[in-house]
Amino acid sequence: MISITDNKDNFRLIRDLPVLVLRESEVKNPKFTIAIPAYKRVDLLKEALDSALKQTYDDYNILIVDDWSERNDETEKYLMSLESNRITYIKTQENLGLIKNFNRLFIYSDGQYVVMLHDDDMLTLNCLNILEGTILRENQPDVILSKRSVIGIEAEEEKKLKGLRKLIKSVIPIGFPLASNMFSGNFFGPPTCGFAIKRSAAMESGGFSEELGMATDWLYCLRLQQKYRLARAREITGIYRWSNNVSAQEKTKIEYVYDEQEIIKILVANDRICSFWRKFLKKDFDKKLNAKYGDEIKYSRLYHIVKKYYDLRVRPYGV
């Protein structure tokens, strides 16, 4: 079984690979580096970068690592046309995929904190001020989890989602906080929209691992939690885009089911409370879930339920 306490050096495979530094920030070693992984989505990248450039905080720079090696494409033309002294733009010479590109953000950032922003999401204008306030309030945490609003999900879907979350919590007794959060999904949230980590902690921890594919962010945060201090922002730091996100694709939804079930198995195996919940409460939960949502909804791994759940951003674990 995958361990949540051990993480190898995931930088070793990419640290010495050549890259092209096409432009470099004049702002060196700031408090924050806003780090954006880019890949062939220039229209969305424009919105993400615009939100980064409009921050009301001053001591920061911006890093964009483009995982598309083709030269003079639309992304490169756009980024090279901008007039800003804050932007570093790095282009890979070999397409490595999303997870390795995440780790490149850590390698090439020079801020004390790396603030992650996916190229289809946005930051609120005062995101960095909120992070600075969190740092002061929580006495220099190693990791700050973002607080997000969501765009691209229909009101009716959001209503159903809230109902399902309420049902999940209604069948879990008070005193089972980990289980309650665990079965609602990745309770850390995605590494975007103002998710911040000390660069020193990111490098020491080994970065994101490809062991669990689509659940890599959850696994990484679980590992960080074993050694580092985590805090959560109290105000909204970013805007998460649902409709255009890769997670809306059917193949990706299915991958999420299998990868995140592995996370649940790890948590259940390492926590007696979760084991108790699984043994004594799951049948009652399934009964209530079925009564509310109909016979077609089951806590199972069958493909035919995947779309039903994931259109509502809910994880059917089936442990």
Residues of the chain with pLDDT > 70: what percent? 66
Q: How far apart are CA 270 and CA 264, in angstroms?
A: 10
Residues 179 and 69 grouped into a single domain: no
Which candidate, 99, 147, 113, 89, places its Cα nearest to that of 34? Answer: 113
d(CA 68, CA 38): 8
For the chain, what is the domain count?
2
136 and 256 co-located in one domain: no
The pair of structure tokens assigned to 187 is: 């309770």
The predicted-structure confidence for 217-276, as pLDDT tens digits, reads as follows 888 988 898 899 999 999 999 999 876 455 555 566 566 666 766 776 676 666 554 555
243 compared with 86, residue with greater pLDDT: 86
What letter would DSSP give residue 38?
E
Domain of 301 in residue numbering reads as 154-187+249-319
Q: Are the C-beta atoms of 186 and 233 separated by less than 8 Å?
A: no
β-strand partners of 35:
63, 116
**Same domain flag for 177 and 214:** no
CA separation for the pair 37, 90 (Å, rounded): 10
Beta strands at 113-116 and 32-38: parallel, antiparallel or unpaired? parallel
Kindly state whether residues 91 and 141 are assigned to the same domain.
yes
Tokens read off for 12: 């070793």
Distances (CA, A) of 34 to 48, 54, 75, 108, 121: 10, 12, 18, 11, 12
In tens, the pLDDT along 116-163 reads: 999 999 999 999 999 999 999 999 999 999 999 888 765 555 566 566
List all residues 6 or more positions away from 74 whose beta carbon is below 8 Å from its beta carbon: 42
161 shares its domain with 33: no
> Are residues 299 and 164 part of one domain?
yes
